[in-house]
Structure 1
Amino acid sequence: MAGKREAKRDALKSALIAATRSLIAEGGLKGLRARDIAAKTGCALGSLYTIFDDIDTLILHVNFQTLQAIEAEMDTALAGVADDRAFEALGLAYLRFVAANRNLWAALFEHHMPEGATVPVWLDEEVAALMAKIDAPLARLMPEASPEEVTDRARTFFGAVHGVIAISVENRFVGVPMETLEREIVALTGILTHGQAQGPRMVS
C-alpha cells in the first residue's frame, strides 16, 4: 500500500515539473502561477503543496532539467572534437540551445530564491557538472595551472560567450545581430583558444 502511495506521489511530482516546464517554455517566468500549474496537471492546488514547499522549489527542479539538457548538448558537441576546437563546439552548442529554448534558458538567470533561502546541493552539483565540460579541455591547455585556476578560467570563458549571447538574444543595443551571431561565437571562441594556447599574460 505504501509503495502505491509513493508511486502516486512520484507521478504527481513528475507531472507538476513537466507542467511547470511547459508553462515556462510557453510564457517565461513572468506571470507563472501555482493555480495554472495545478490546472495544467489536473490536480487540486493543495496537492501541489503536498509535493513542493513553494513554487520556487518547483522552478528549481525545472532549472535542474534545463541544466541537464544543456549538459547533454555539450556532450554531443564534444564527441570526437579536439581540444583546440572544443570551445567552438561548446559555444555553438550553447547558442543553439538558447535559440531553441529561450524562455527555459532565461529562467536559469531570472529566478531568484527568496531572501534567506539557499540553493539546494543537487542544483549546485549540476552546475558544477556542466562547468566540468569546459574544465576538461581547458585543463589540457593549462597543464601547469592548479584546478582552482582552471575553474576560474572556465568561468571566465563561459561568461564571455554567455554575455555575447545574452545581450544579442535580448536585443540589447550592443548585441550582435542574430543572423551573424553564430559566426561571431566561432570567432570569439577561436580568440579565447588561441590566446590560452599562447599563454595569457599573468597578472600579479
Structure 2
Amino acid sequence: MTTKAQQRKEVLREKLIVAAEERIDRDGVGALRARDLAKDAGCAVGAIYTAYDDLNALIMAVNGRTFQKLGQVVASSVDGAGEETATSRLILMSNAYLGFASDHTNLWRALFDLQMRADDQVPDWYLQALRTLFSHIARPVAELFPDYNHEQLDLMVRALFSSVHGIVLLGLEQRISAVPLAKVEQMIGQVLSQVGQT
C-alpha cells in the first residue's frame, strides 16, 4: 500500500514530467533549467531532486514517454495496411517517423541527445520502449528476409532504423543536406524500395 508521501512524490514526478516535456518540446533539451521547472510544477527547486536524482533522470522519463508516443504513431501508420507489401509498410512507418520528428523535433532530438556518463546504466523501461519501436519494424523485415535468424533480423532492423533516422536527421538539418523536407519522404522510399531486392 502506498503512503501519502509516496503518492505526493508520484504526483510531483508527473507534474515535473509534464513541465519538462512542454519545455523540451518548445525550447529544446539544452534550455531545460531546474528553476524554470520548479516554477512550472509549483514546487521548490530542491523538490525536483527528491523526485529525480538529477535533470538527466527527468529527461529520461520524458524520453520514455516520447518513445511510447513515437511507437504509437509508427504502429498506427500501418493500421489497416495488412494487404500492403512489407516494403510499403516499412515506407509508411518511416514516413510516420519523419512526421513525428518534424512535428516534435525537440522532443525527438532529446531521445538521442541525452548526455550520459560511460558508467551510467540505461534503465530497462527505456530499453523496452526502444524494443517496442523496433518490434513494429521487425514484422515487415521478417517477411522480406524469411531465412534470417533472430540475430540477423535484429541487425537488419537496426540497420534500417539507422538509415531512416539518418535521412530524417539530415532532412531536418536542411542546411547540411540541402534536401527540402518534401523530398525526404521520396528519399526514404527510394532507399527502402531496394531492401530485399538483392
Q: Is the 8 A contact 2:87 2:192 kept in 1?
A: no
CA distance in 2, matches of 1:104, 1:128: 19
* Number of the residue aligned with 1:107: 110
* Number of the residue aligned with 2:60: 60
Following superposition, the deviation at residue 172 of structure 1 comes to 4.0
Q: Of 175, 178, 191, which aligns to 1:188?
A: 191
Deviates more, 1:180-189 or 1:141-150: 180-189
Q: Is the 8 A contact 1:74 1:93 kept in 2?
A: yes
Q: Is the 8 A contact 1:91 1:189 kept in 2?
A: no
Root-mean-square deviation (CA, aligned residues, Å) is 1.6
Following superposition, the deviation at residue 38 of structure 1 comes to 0.9
Following superposition, the deviation at residue 11 of structure 1 comes to 1.0
CA distance in 1, matches of 2:31, 2:10: 26
Structure 1 residue 122 and structure 2 residue 125: aligned? Answer: yes
Following superposition, the deviation at residue 42 of structure 1 comes to 0.8
The percent of aligned pairs where both chains have the same amino acid is 32
* TM-score, normalised relative to structure 1: 0.90
Partner amino acid for 1:130?
Answer: L
Q: Is the 8 A contact 2:24 2:31 kept in 1?
A: no
Q: Is the 8 A contact 1:13 1:51 kept in 2?
A: yes
Following superposition, the deviation at residue 40 of structure 1 comes to 0.9
Q: Of 175, 181, 184, which aligns to 1:178?
A: 181
Which stretches in structure 1 are left out of the alignment for 5+ residues? none
Aligned length: 195
CA distance in 1, matches of 2:167, 2:2: 51
Runs of 4+ in 1 over 4 A off after TM superposition: none
Q: Is the 8 A contact 1:91 1:185 kept in 2?
A: yes
* TM-score, normalised relative to structure 2: 0.92
